[in-house]
Structure 1
Amino acid sequence: MEPLLKVENIKKTYGKSSAAYTALENISFDIHEGEFVGIMGPSGAGKSTLLNMLATIDSPTEGKIYMRDVSIHDMKGADLTDFRRDNLGFIFQDYNLLDSLTVKENILLPLAIAKMPAKEIDISVNRIAKVFGIEDLLAKYPYQISGGQKQRTAAARALVTEPALILADEPTGALDSKSATDLLESLSELNENNQSTIMLVTHDAYAASFCRRIIFIKDGTLSKEIHRRGQTRKAFFQEIIDVLATIGGEVDDVI
């Protein structure tokens, strides 16, 4: 089966000549539909640089990134805008909710932009709100809900369009342990029940233990890859900690 995402020999260099700095070099991997993949590594390893290129915010100096056999960095203007809208969902550490809109209005915003009929919008919003357990919050405004509820609202907004690939950048970084667990369990259920494809960038071993596969980056290159397979999440958590200890990554001691 062809991969959903193919990253081929990516290199990213900033600056020129003697001042040049290589953030990523010779990065190659595939992500197939229905995978839940984590990207981990020490601070400065290149995780954010890689995420920015997958999100089409930045372009590689060398190499190619394909989604469904389309080279995403060869697209320009309206084609690129349409590609992002139709294929990518973003969950960030900052919620980026609009305070003047209700929870429901924040979630439906991408559907309204895509000019989906009102009846279909209601069905989609109610369905995704149920997944994240925020059905009772739809009429509230962001200032009336907790940080964990805001992040679940932001996640619902990212997933309401049913994107091909969900990119999550430290989505639990600003949450308490219970709110983080609620969000991660919701993402895990989406992955298992809906075959949603998720790539989670994190430094947190606890968050990463919800993934099915972890790709480790160190000093801008691929360092190691591990798979959960039949392990319990607790056993996978310990394996992640062991790998991070060998490559110098940060760990979180909550489980």
Structure 2
Amino acid sequence: METVIEIKALTKSYGNKGNVVPVLHGIDMCIGEGEFVGIMGPSGSGKTTLLHMAATIDEPTSGSIVIDGENVLQMNEAQLSAFRRSKLGFIFQDYNLLDTLTVKENILLPLALSGISVDEVENRVSAIAERFNIKHILEKYPYQISGGQKQRTAACRAIVTRPRLILADEPTGALDSKAAASLLEALNELNEQEHATILMVTHDALAASYCSRVLFLKDGVIFAEIVKGTTPRQAFFKKILDVLTVLGGRTDDVI
């Protein structure tokens, strides 16, 4: 399995001199091509900070991050910007859609400067919209669609560039159970059929049960790891709840 992201000895502290707050303590993590990896942990465990490091949004205090064979910590801002556009896809809880653009225009926005032909852009948007079941709303504006449709639009926008790594930060956090399940099924299908590599931070055991592997953080270190393998999703969900119980995390999610 080809490695997509490799993180070694990653640390992160905030503040300076007499007021330093350590958040991550020597994280080692490797994700192979086609994996769907979840990161869970109590509030303050460092999971979102870790995702931001992997997403090149924030810089670590020390350690290394190699994505698709490239050391992102050695890049300048211009190189990082180009790298993000070509290699990374982002799905965040707050959608970040532009209200003045249609759903279709929001999705194709990352392709606007890519030099891809108009026909190819149309083909990609059509295919990804069909996969996420939003083809019928492509001409609507964000204020005309539901929260679940907005999040699926945001997911399409993240994926249309065919990134090497998709990063999702609490993608179901603002959705009702039906909309969340729809998004997770689409991401799971994308992972299984297209071998997309996904790294997702979530507090939701149900969302994590769609992953092939889940890492649990506690106090800035990896506390535990479980692998789904051939385990049925409902049984994997139960394993996740068991670890969360030990961690003191949320165990009120239902399947």
When normalised by structure 1's length, the TM-score is: 0.98
Cα distance in structure 1, aligned partners of 2:2 and 2:180: 33
Shift of 1:2: 4.1
Report 1:55-66 matches (<5 A): 55-66=55-66
Q: Secondary structure of 2:175's partner? A: coil
The C-alpha deviation readout for 1:55-78, integer Å capped at 9, x for no partner, is 111111110000122111110122
Q: Secondary structure of 1:28's partner? A: strand
What letter matches 2:210 in structure 1?
F
CA gap of 1:72–1:244, structure 2 versus 1, over 3 A, is same
Cα distance in structure 2, aligned partners of 1:252 and 1:225: 21
Name the residue aligned to 1:71: 71
Count of aligned pairs: 255
Structure 1's unaligned 5+ residue stretches are none
Q: Secondary structure of 1:113's partner? A: coil
Name the residue aligned to 2:149: 149
Report 1:166-181 matches (<5 A): 166-181=166-181
C-alpha contact (below 8 Å) 2:2/2:33 kept by paired residues: no
Cα distance in structure 2, aligned partners of 1:151 and 1:67: 25
| 1:242 corresponds to 2:242 | yes
Cα distance in structure 2, aligned partners of 1:154 and 1:251: 28
C-alpha contact (below 8 Å) 2:90/2:158 kept by paired residues: yes
Name the residue aligned to 1:195: 195
Report 1:1-255 matches (<5 A): 1-255=1-255
Shift of 1:149: 0.6
The C-alpha deviation readout for 1:13-61, integer Å capped at 9, x for no partner, is 1122331111000100100000000000000000111111111111111
C-alpha contact (below 8 Å) 2:55/2:167 kept by paired residues: yes
Cα distance in structure 1, aligned partners of 2:8 and 2:94: 30
C-alpha contact (below 8 Å) 1:206/1:252 kept by paired residues: no
Cα distance in structure 1, aligned partners of 2:16 and 2:134: 49
> Over aligned residue pairs, what C-alpha RMSD do you find?
0.9
Cα distance in structure 1, aligned partners of 2:163 and 2:69: 17
C-alpha contact (below 8 Å) 2:25/2:221 kept by paired residues: yes
When normalised by structure 2's length, the TM-score is: 0.98
What letter matches 2:188 in structure 1?
S
Among all aligned residue pairs of Structure 1 and Structure 2, give the percentage whose two residues are the same amino acid.
Answer: 58
Structure 2's unaligned 5+ residue stretches are none
